[in-house]
Amino acid sequence: MKNLIYFLAALLLLSCGKGSQNMPENFDYGTLENNVYKNRFFKFSVPIHEDWVVQNKEQMQSIVETGSKMMTGDDKNLKAVVEASKINTAYLLTVFKYELGAAVEYNPSFMVIAENISHAPGVKRGSDYLFHTKKLLQQGQVDYTFAEEMTEKTIGTASFDGMQGYLDLMGKKITQDYFTTIKNGFSLSFVATYTNEEEKSEIYDLIDRIKI
C-alpha cells in the first residue's frame, strides 16, 4: 500500500510539478508552530491534530515526484503539461495520520496547494479551476471518476467550490475531496484523501477548524 499512499497524495490539481518559481516576493510558504500552520500571504491557519504527521519539504517533494510519474506514465504530452506547470505551484502543507511506511491498511491525508493562475485569466473561481483539474486527472493513467455536480462549502469565512473524485485500487475505494477558492491571484486548494467515514470525520474536523 505504500506506493498507493504516495500516489493518491500527489494526484493533485492542474500542476503536479517539482516545485515553484513563479511566485511574488511577498509569497509565504507558511510556518508551523505548536501544531498550527499559519500562512501570511493567504491569511489562514490550520490547527493540526497532535498525533498527525506533518511532512517536510523533502518528503513533500518525494511524494509529488512519485505521484506525478505514476499519473503520467509514458504519455509524453501529459508529461510536458506537468513540466510546464511546475513553476506555478506551491505545496504548502502535507499531513498524514500516520508516518509514511507505517503498518496500516491506509494512511489518510490532508494537503494544501496554491497555484499562480496569472497564466489562466479565464479561471475566475474555484469551480473553473476544478473543471481543468478534472480534465487533467482524466487524462492520466488511472481510472478516476468524479461526482457529477460540484458543491460549495464555507471554510472559515471564505467560500470554496468542491469536487469529489473516486478511485478503486487493490480492492480499496479511495475518495478525494477538493476544495478550491481564488485568492490573491492564486488558486488555494484543500485536498482530503480517505477511505471511510471515520477517516473523513477526522479530516473534516481539521477543515472545520481552519480560520481564513
- Mind listing the pLDDT tens digit for each residue in 194-210? 999 999 999 999 999 99
**Phi, psi (degrees; rounded to nearest 5) at 149:** -105, 140
Determine the angle formed by the axes of helices 76-85 and 57-72, rounding to 10 degrees: 150
Radius of gyration for the chain, computed over Cα atoms and rounded to the nearest angstrom: 16
Q: What angle do CA 28, 15, 208 make, to 5 degrees?
A: 60
C-alpha cell read off for 53: 504527521
Burial of 44 (0-12, 13-18, 19+ CB in 10 A): buried
Burial of 76 (0-12, 13-18, 19+ CB in 10 A): exposed
C-alpha cell read off for 37: 500552520
Residue 120 pLDDT: 85
Asked if residues 109 and 97 have their Cβ atoms less than 8 Å apart, the reply is yes
Rounded alpha-carbon distances, angstroms, from residue 47 to 38, 95, 208: 9, 11, 10
Residue 133 pLDDT: 85
Fold of 2-208: Protein Transport Mog1p; Chain A (3.40.1000)
Residue 70 pLDDT: 59
Is residue 116 predicted with pLDDT exceeding 80? Answer: yes
- The residue ranges of every structural domain in the chain are 2-208
Residue 195 pLDDT: 93
Is residue 13 predicted with pLDDT exceeding 70? Answer: no
Q: How far apart are CA 10 and CA 67, in angstroms?
A: 5
Weakest-pLDDT range from 36-50, 60-74, 139-153: 60-74
Residue 3 pLDDT: 43
Q: How far apart are CA 66 and CA 64, in angstroms?
A: 6
Give residue 2's pLDDT band: very low, low, confident or very high (50, 70, 90): very low
Residue 10 pLDDT: 47
Asked if residues 66 and 11 have their Cβ atoms less than 8 Å apart, the reply is no
> Mean pLDDT highest for which of 59-63, 67-71, 75-79?
59-63
Longest dimension (CA), the chain: 46
Residue 71 pLDDT: 58
> Taking all residues of the chain, what is their mean pLDDT, rounded to a whole number?
82
For 17-48, the pLDDT digits (tens) are 334 456 888 899 999 999 999 999 999 999 99
Is residue 6 predicted with pLDDT exceeding 60? Answer: no
